[in-house]
Amino acid sequence: MSYFKNIDQIKYEGSHSQNPLAFKYYNPEEVINGQTMEELLRFAVSYWHTFTAEGTDPFGQGTMVRPYNHFSGMDLAKARVEASFEFFEKMNVPYFCFHDVDVAPEGSSLAETNKNLDVIVSMIKDYLKTSKTKLLWNTANMFSNPRWLHGAATAPNADVFAYAAAKVKKGLEVGKELGAENYVFWGGREGYETLLNTDMKLEQDNLARLFHMAIDYAKEIHFNAQFLIEPKPKEPTKHQYDFDVATGLAFLQKYDLADHFKFNIEANHATLAGHTFEHELCVARINGMLGSVDANQGDPLLGWDTDEFPTDLYSTTLAMYEILKNGGLGAGGLNFDAKVRRGSFEPEDLFYAHIAGMDSFAVGAKVAQKLLDDKVLEDFIDQRYSSYKEGIGLEIVEGKTDLRKLETYALGLDDIKNESGRQEQLKAIVNQYLLDVNGSK
Ligand code: XUL
Ligand code: CO
């Protein structure tokens, strides 16, 4: 049975193709710095946005027309699995990601929820045997059900903490069963609304306790996936504890967790935190903590997490620049935590959206690699900091000086000569590279 009958395999046709159902820039076999695009970009489909979400918003019901809409309950869950593997194959994506509740409906008890999950997990496992697509990561949804209204591991109610622990335990078992390469923790409601009713220290201590328990249990069951924290500053909670990479890193270091986690960085979460996407990638990279990416984009005119498919080539280029400097994503990948707009309700929009996102990152990768090959920014930055390579600068970086010696040096200076940062010139060069994406430079 086919769910997307009128769509064939999506193939690379090159930048001159007029076929909307073809890749223009994503050529899985094209080599970038010794890796094929497929190996470097490691694209993943988000199960929740692509197969589970119905397109509801605070003002209206779902709009998505899906070929499995006539099913319900476990039949719907099974139909979605069938449709998803057909989609993965037609899109030629190597990975997918899911929350527990995306793939199987919650039952009236935890035991029944787990039973539902077991049925679907065994079905997914069967598909994985023959499919090329693998599981990049799974996670537990600990934010949608009303039980999480005050948080999960950071809830004031110990019963809720216990329930969260049970969900994570099951999530780790599912990840192991399906060969997940990563396991994600996004603290959807791990934060607070008002200090008037909050013991922030206990809440953060408890969050760290859950993470330690997860590390211990994964070790016990030999689940060797990389653990990822996904920072987000707000939404749904007003103040979220994993605000951004820097905040998350301080948390991990304080609680002796830094050796066990890396970050899953989402573009729209970065901008909600008042940073650029590349800023968050860079903070993670320079600290050896860049694990994976939730690839999407926000809307500068709207203040919330719009989770749009990434099409901004400037942003994908600067993101890929960081990823290439990181030597790739290792066990991580580029997961489209992105949804088609409410008005893009037809099944083929899912294909157009993924093609747009994959092509945008392919362009970004090609342009970023060219910038690196030509050392355009590298050489400029190198020169900009050259005063630290000799004389007093070298003494500073080698720790061979102190305030007294530096004062003596400064007193002897009669003129400080600064140089231009050349921001506008550099941006024009990046534009030149972007416009020449398929050129012969
Ligand atoms: C929410 C979000 C989540 C995580 C996984 O903003 O990004 O979907 O990626 O829980
Ligand atoms: Co995300």
Helix 347-373 / helix 423-435 crossing angle, nearest 10 deg: 120
Atom number of ligand 1 nearest to Cα 235:
6
* pLDDT tens track for 160-188: 999 999 999 999 999 999 999 999 999 99
The band of 440, judged by pLDDT with boundaries at 50, 70 and 90, is very low
Which of 100, 102, 244, 305 is catalytic? The answer is 102
Tokens linked to 192 = 């607070």
CA proximity to 175, closest of 106, 229, 99, 78: 99
**What would the DSSP string read from start to end of 156-218?**
S-HHHHHHHHHHHHHHHHHHHHHT-SEEEE--TT-EES-GGG--HHHHHHHHHHHHHHHHHHH
Torsion, Cα of 193, 47, 310, 18 (10° steps): -160
Q: Is 102 a catalytic residue?
A: yes
Residue nearest to ligand 1 atom 3, measured at CA? 186
Over residues 33-51, the mean pLDDT reads 98
**What would the DSSP string read from start to end of 222-267?**
T--PEEEE---SSSSSSEETT-SHHHHHHHHHHTT-GGGEEEEEEH
- Supply the DSSP symbol for 148: G
* pLDDT tens track for 244-292: 999 999 999 999 999 999 999 999 999 999 999 999 999 999 999 999 9
Centroid of chain to Cα 48: 14
Q: For the chain, how big is the Rg over CA atoms in Å?
A: 24
Over residues 374-401, the mean pLDDT reads 98
Mutational pocket test of ligand 1: of 186, 268, 280, the residue with most ligand atoms within 8 Å of the beta carbon: 186
pLDDT at position 441 over 80: no
Protein residues whose CB sits closer than 6 Å to any atom of ligand 1 = 99, 139, 184, 186, 230, 232, 266, 294, 305, 337
- Residues linked to residue 264 through DSSP beta bridges, in sequence order: 292
Measured from the Cβ of residue 236, the count of other Cβ atoms closer than 10 Å reads 15
Over residues 194-222, the mean pLDDT reads 98
Q: Is 242 a catalytic residue?
A: no
Residue-level length of the chain: 441
CA proximity to 87, closest of 68, 63, 106: 68
Please tell me the distance between residue 186's alpha carbon and the centre of ligand 1 in angstroms. Answer: 6
Confidence at residue 439, expressed as pLDDT on a 0 to 100 scale: 62
Mean pLDDT in the chain? Answer: 97
Helix and strand numbers (H, E) in the chain are: 16, 14
